[in-house]
A and B are shown apart, each in its own frame.
Chain A
Amino acid sequence: MADKETVIGADTRISGEVRGDEDLVVRGRIDGRVQLTQNLTVEKGATVQADVDVRQLVVSGTVVGAIVASESVKLMSTARVVGDLASPRVMMEAGAAYRGRVDMGDIAAARAAVSSRVAQRPAASEKAAIRPAPPRMAMPGKVVVAGKAAAPVAPTTAARSTAPAVAGAAAPASPPAFPRVAGAMGGMAPAWAKKKIRRR
Chain B
Amino acid sequence: MAKEKDTKPMANTVIGSSIVIDGEITGEESLTILGTVKGKISVAQNLVVESGATVEADVEAQTVTVSGRLTGNVVARERIELKPESKMVGDAKSPRIVIADGAGFKGNVDMDV
Residues of A whose CB lies within 8 Å of any CB of B are 1-2, 4-24, 27-28, 32
- In the bound complex, do residue A17 and residue B22 qualify as a contact, i.e. CB atoms below 8 Å apart? yes
Q: How far is the CA of A44 from the CA of B12 in the complex (A)?
A: 16
List residues of B whose CB falls within 8 A of some A CB.
11-31, 34-35, 39, 43-44
- Contact A20–B19 (Cβ < 8 Å): yes
Q: Nearest residue in B to A20 (C-beta to C-beta)?
A: B19
User: Chain A's nearest CB lies how many Å from the CB of B48?
Assistant: 12
Q: What 7 A-B pairs come out closest when comparing CB atoms?
A: A16-B23, A9-B12, A12-B27, A20-B19, A11-B28, A6-B16, A9-B13
By the criterion CB–CB under 8 Å, are B18 and A18 in contact? no
Q: Which residues of B contact A2 (CB under 8 A)?
A: 14
User: Complex Cα distance A8/B28, Å?
Assistant: 12
> Do the beta carbons of A15 and B14 come within 8 Å of each other?
no
Interface pair A20/B12, CB less than 8 Å apart: no
Contact assessment for B13 and A28 in the assembled complex, using a CB-CB cutoff below 8 Å: yes
Q: Across the interface, do B24 and A14 meet the contact criterion of CB distance under 8 Å? A: yes
29 A-B contact pairs sorted by A residue (CB < 8 Å): A5-B14, A6-B14, A6-B16, A6-B19, A6-B35, A7-B12, A8-B13, A9-B11, A9-B12, A9-B27, A9-B29, A11-B12, A11-B29, A11-B44, A12-B27, A12-B31, A13-B25, A14-B24, A14-B25, A15-B24, A15-B26, A16-B22, A17-B23, A18-B19, A18-B21, A19-B21, A21-B18, A22-B17, A24-B19
B39 nearest CB across to chain A (Å):
6
Contact B14 A12, beta carbon cutoff 8 Å: no
Are B19's CB and A22's CB within 8 A?
Answer: yes
Q: Give the contacting residue for B25; candidates A7, A12, A21; CB below 8 A.
A: A12
Check A11/B27 contact, CB under 8 A, given A6-B15, A6-B35, A22-B16.
yes
The residue that B16 contacts in the complex, of A5, A9, A11, with Cβ under 8 A, is A5
The 8 Å CB contact of A19, one of B17, B19, B24, is B19
Q: Are A14 and B21 in contact (CB under 8 A)?
A: yes
Complex interface: chain A residues within 8 A of B13 (CB)? 7-9, 12, 28
Instruction: Output the least CB separation between B71 and chain A (Å).
Output: 17
List the A side residues contacting B26 at CB < 8 Å. 12-15
Residues on A with beta carbons closer than 8 Å to the beta carbon of B28: 11-12
Min CB distance B83 to A, Å, is 16
Within the assembled complex, what's the spacing in Å between the Cα atoms of A49 and B6?
Answer: 33
- Write the chain A residue with the least CB distance to B23: A16
Cα A19 to Cα B17 in complex, Å, equals 11
Q: Is the CB of B20 within 8 A of A12?
A: no
Cα separation A17 to B13 with both chains bound (whole Å): 16
Residue of B nearest to A26 (CB): B13
- Whether A16 contacts B19 in the complex (CB less than 8 A), given A7-B14, A10-B12, A11-B12, comes out as no
Partner of A12, one of B16, B19, B29, B34: B29
